[in-house]
A = this chain, B = another copy of it.
Amino acid sequence: MPRYPHIAPTIAGMTGSVYSSLAHRLQAFDGETYPFHIGDTWMEPAVGTRMEDLTVADYPGMHRYAPVQGRRDLLDVISTRTLERTGTAAEPSDILVTAGATGALGAIIGAITEAGDEVLLLAPYWPLISGIVRSSRATPVDVPLIGEADSPETALDIVKSYLTDRTVAIYWNSPNNPTGRVIPKSWIEALVAWAISEDLWILADEVYEDYVFHGEHTYARPLAPERTFSIHSCSKAFGMAGNRCGYAVGPGDKMRHVRKVSTHTFYSTPTAAQIAARRALAGPGDVWAAEAREKYTEIGNAAASRLGIEPPEGSTFLFLDVAEFLDGEGLMGFLSKCVERGILLAPGPSFGPYPTHVRFCYTAVPPEVTARGVEALARLLER
């Protein structure tokens, strides 16, 4: 029982943002800055999908509440898109429109776990997922796998070693944030088969599905629609992260429970954001994504080449091991040296047990700015 002035131990024990002091120093930096720590895009969303395009004349009542599950026209277009993309039908009852992927995963994990239940997180992972599990009072379990396993068999050997009586679900995100890797189809198939054999829920974070540069994205839901929740985002797909609109697709008889949690955490997804998403999904969004994909590929390849690492397969990130540049001040010392050059990077421990890594987003600022920042980073890394 915390009572005043005590915070709940679970939350008190969580680390807050590690950026604030570094970001503050970056603001004071005298010169061009490179905020590579954020996962965002410099591109404005497609004409026709911006807030200025949504008028009260066209959409009377558009500032009022939307239905908690989502607007019917948006559910319908997501239903169609899901069938087209995955080959597996999704009824509107299988779909929940959410406050981004964060809102989706919070509601799903809230619905399937009780305090102390464990969720396996294939690492490196999206940095919010660990805190989402913890905020739900479940226990995140880091499973370093991407970059470690080299076949479906070794991937299974790794996940099996983390299974306990408390494990209830397995989470992965592919195309992967932060590594830029795409998990191969044979691995996804093996992981799904194993999850089925162990009665686990599957959480497939597919928000970068539109950003695959090499290889192919494998949708998990068709392999086990009865137990898979797939998570999608208009933030990444269409450059509208500030709108807070994503969606989850899962088994309809379970989604009604997920809706109970979403209703009590963010209530409904912003109405205007849903209209913008509907308009993007009608065509302009895919055109925008195709253009973005082409640009992102070029920038990602150029950055990887200059930094002397493998080109990204997908997402919008590179993940670098900077162990050889760390001194007694460790990773924070390195990040501090970056800030002295105007560069802000995300620290490896946000993504799992990676004390000597940093993540770099190459789409947050315009390409020419990114190029200059990469040059500054390459020089710091003596490359």
- Using a CB–CB cutoff of 8 Å, the interface residues on chain A facing chain B are 1-5, 7-12, 14, 16-17, 38, 40-41, 44-45, 50-56, 60-66, 68, 99-100, 102-103, 106, 110-115, 117, 128, 131-132, 134-135, 137, 165-168, 199-201, 226-227, 239-244, 254, 256-257, 259-261, 263-273
Q: How far is the CA of A301 from the CA of B133 in the complex (A)?
A: 48
- Given the known A-B contacts A7-B257, A12-B257, A14-B260, are A270 and B270 also in contact in the complex, defined by CB atoms under 8 Å? yes
Q: How far is the CA of A52 from the CA of B62 in the complex (A)?
A: 11
Partner of A44 from B60, B117, B227 at Cβ < 8 Å: B60
Number of copies: 2
What are 27 of the A-B contact pairs (CB < 8 Å)?
A: A7-B112, A8-B110, A14-B260, A44-B63, A45-B63, A50-B55, A51-B51, A51-B52, A51-B63, A51-B272, A63-B239, A63-B241, A65-B242, A99-B99, A99-B244, A99-B266, A99-B267, A102-B266, A106-B265, A110-B135, A128-B264, A128-B267, A131-B264, A135-B261, A242-B272, A243-B270, A265-B266
- What distance in Å separates the Cβ of A241 from its nearest Cβ neighbour in chain B? 5
- What distance in Å separates the Cβ of A168 from its nearest Cβ neighbour in chain B? 5
- What distance in Å separates the Cβ of A167 from its nearest Cβ neighbour in chain B? 8
- What distance in Å separates the Cβ of A125 from its nearest Cβ neighbour in chain B? 14
Chain B minimum-CB-distance residue to A251: B5
Which of A99, A110, A242 has the largest count of B CB atoms less than 10 A from its CB?
A242
Question: Chain B contacts of A7 at CB under 8 A?
Answer: 111-112, 254, 257
- What distance in Å separates the Cβ of A358 from its nearest Cβ neighbour in chain B? 20
Which of A9, A226, A263 has the largest count of B CB atoms less than 10 A from its CB?
A263
- Judge whether B128 and A227 touch: CB under 8 Å: no
Classify the secondary structure of A's interface with B. loop
Chain B minimum-CB-distance residue to A256: B16
- Judge whether A4 and B199 touch: CB under 8 Å: yes
Question: Chain B contacts of A56 at CB under 8 A?
Answer: 44, 50, 52
- Judge whether B10 and A114 touch: CB under 8 Å: yes
* Nearest 3 Cβ contacts at the A-B interface: A242-B271, A135-B264, A102-B267
Question: Chain B contacts of A12 at CB under 8 A?
Answer: 257
Partner of A102 from B106, B114, B254, B265 at Cβ < 8 Å: B265
Question: Chain B contacts of A68 at CB under 8 A?
Answer: 17
Given A50-B55, A65-B241, A244-B244, 17 more contacts at CB 8 Å? Answer: A2-B113, A4-B168, A5-B226, A16-B259, A51-B55, A52-B54, A63-B242, A63-B243, A66-B242, A99-B99, A131-B260, A131-B264, A135-B264, A242-B272, A244-B266, A265-B265, A270-B270
- What distance in Å separates the Cβ of A6 from its nearest Cβ neighbour in chain B? 8
